[in-house]
Structure 1
Amino acid sequence: MSGTRPPLTPMRSAIPRSSPGGILIVDDHDLVRLGVRALLQAQESPSGEGVEIFEADCLAQALTIYERFASSIGLVLLDLALPDTQGLSAVSQFHERHPDARIVALSGAGTTSLAQSAMAQGALTLGASAFLPKSANLKEVVSFIRACGLLGSDVVDGLAGAAPPSARTTRYSRPSYSRAWRSLTASQVRVLQLVLEGRTNKEIAQLADLQEGTVKNYVSTILLLFGMRSRAQLISSLR
């Protein structure tokens, strides 16, 4: 972000809540926040009130807002590509500061289902309660939030009532390899995603703007961290 921007003011309903029903949207793209906010505000909470919305455009701001309004926030929609984070650090930092927060990680990284699956595993391992790819449309995101019990049962514009398959498959389990995921740098996470997409070292070097020798070293380190002997074993294990 360039220049000095005024802080985003949390949007709050006037009626106090007896249990956390608010949703914190953390994304540095104004249009994404606007789209999610508009759909959520068209919904009702189970109590019949409007949904309480909080917004942040970076991790530091999100942490500040959560610390202040934790008793009102029941779900955090956390983008993984924030200006003040790298790789999966947004999840690990937020979870470390607020281990009781229910975090849904959102990511547009990874072009294959396998790469998305690996990113989901990493996010869940580091403390997220669920993972949703940004390829899911906004109505699917709202549908998932309803499945979490934070929205009423009414639908708008034909909105489906069930959580999308990507949410159902990643919501409940915490995969292994926790130490390996925590040890990866942002660059290594990117290389791992490309490996899972079937890219060669040369292709990875071009796409990640790295030297091919650096890519080879990263791949070797990744295999060592995950206890794998080959790319094929790594791909098979992270499916």
Structure 2
Amino acid sequence: MTSLPTVVLVDDHALFRAGVRAELEQPTAGDGTPRATVLGEAGDVDVAVRLILDREPDVVLLDVHMPGGGGAEVLRRVHETRPGQRFLALSVSDEPEDVISLIRAGARGYVTKTISGEELVAAIGQVKAGDAVFSPRLAGFVLDAFAGRIDAGAAVVADPELDQLTDREREVLRLIARGYMYKEIARRLTISPKTVEHHVSAVLRKLQLSNRHELTRWATERRLVD
């Protein structure tokens, strides 16, 4: 009998973590056994690192952006002590630089939050077994990066203006630049439209821009959008 995969959830949205936990702990048909065992949850980098090293899960489900340095920082710090720990990135972001940065940091796969519960369970099982897993579109980014068609170092090139922005502001910036409305961004990021408006105002102020059209042009010039 195959043992259930053990998982730690790392995401700064408590509501999202609760939804993933519910999916993973949902009983399978027949004997009522859950799909996976959730060993704990964390919403920032420091808590995540301590929890992972203490619980030693089979797989860590890891978001890209969160307080304290983001998913890449969690990977780096955990791998210093536990180099064999397996990570599966689970993020709202499908930006090439986010995908590549997490894979370069050591994640075994990257899937977006549009994934179904059954697909997520299957992906966890594959990563536990040592396989790499990507959402279909994201796999192309990784292949292009290794083939040299995407600059795999682009995510770490210094940009003083971009560095002014928090991780959340960068997420909002990219979604605004891609044409999403405030309500759509709020749904994708699990925040309120008012919070989206607050982030947009902060981005415009920091970048000294006047409106979303200038913001879109600014982001496009820096190749932050497709």
Normalising by the smaller structure, the TM-score range is 0.5 to 0.7
For the residue of structure 1 that corresponds to 2:222, the secondary structure is: helix
Instruction: Report the Cα offset of residue 66 of structure 1.
Output: 1.3
Determine the structure 1 residue equivalent to 2:189: none
CA distance in structure 2 between the partners assigned to 1:171 and 1:42 by the alignment: 32
Q: CA deviation at 1:77?
A: 0.3
Match of 1:97 in 2: 77
How far residue 134 of structure 1 moved from its aligned partner, in angstroms, is 0.8
Q: How does 1:27-106 map to 2 (within 5 A)?
A: 27=11, 28=14, 29-38=17-26, 42-43=34-35, 52-59=37-44, 60-70=46-56, 73-80=57-64, 85=67, 89-99=69-79, 100=83, 101-106=85-90
Label 1:68 to 1:144 Cα distance change in 2 as closer, same or farther (>3 A): same
Q: How does 1:176-215 map to 2 (within 5 A)?
A: 176-180=153-157, 183=163, 185-194=166-175, 196-198=177-179, 206=197, 208-210=199-201, 213-214=204-205
Q: Which residue identity does 1:186 align to in structure 2? A: D
**Pair 1:141–1:39, CA change in 2 (3 A):** farther
| Percent of paired sites with the same residue | 16
Alignment CA distance shift 1:36-1:217 (3 Å): farther
In the TM superposition, residue 24 of structure 1 has moved relative to its aligned partner by: 1.8
- 8 Å CA contact 1:39–1:142 kept in 2: the answer is no
TM-score, normalized by length of structure 2?
0.57
Instruction: Check conservation: 1:144, 1:167, Cα contact below 8 A.
Output: no
Query: What per-residue deviation string (whole Å, max 9, x for no partner) do you get for residues 103-152 of structure 1?
Result: 2222235xxxxx5444423433555332221111111111222332549x
Please give the alpha-carbon distance, in whole angstroms, between the structure 2 residues aligned to 1:212 and 1:167.
Answer: 27
Closer/same/farther in 2, CA of residues 230 and 212 from structure 1, 3 Å limit: closer
| Secondary structure class of the residue paired with 1:98 | helix
Structure having greater relative contact order (Cα 8 Å, sep ≥ 6): 1
Match for residue 120 of structure 1? 99
Q: 1:25–1:37: structure 2 CA closer, same or farther, 3 Å change rule? A: farther
CA contact (8 A) 2:89 2:107 kept: yes
> Is the CA contact (8 Å cut-off) linking 1:130 and 1:170 kept in structure 2?
no
In the TM superposition, residue 94 of structure 1 has moved relative to its aligned partner by: 0.7
Which residue among 132, 136, 139 is the counterpart of 1:165?
136
Q: CA deviation at 1:180?
A: 3.0
Q: Aligned partner of 1:193: which letter?
A: R
Which one of 113, 119, 126 corresponds to residue 140 of structure 1?
119
Q: Is 2:219 aligned against 1:234?
A: no
How many residues align? The count is: 180
- In structure 2, what residue type is equivalent to 1:31? G
SS at match of 2:153: coil
Q: Which runs of 5+ in 2 are unaligned?
A: 147-151, 186-195, 210-216
Task: Provide the alpha-carbon RMSD of the alignment.
Answer: 4.3
TM-score, normalising length: structure 1: 0.54
**Residues in 2 aligned to 1:123 and 1:181: alpha-carbon distance in whole angstroms:** 17
Distance 2:27 2:138 in 1: 18
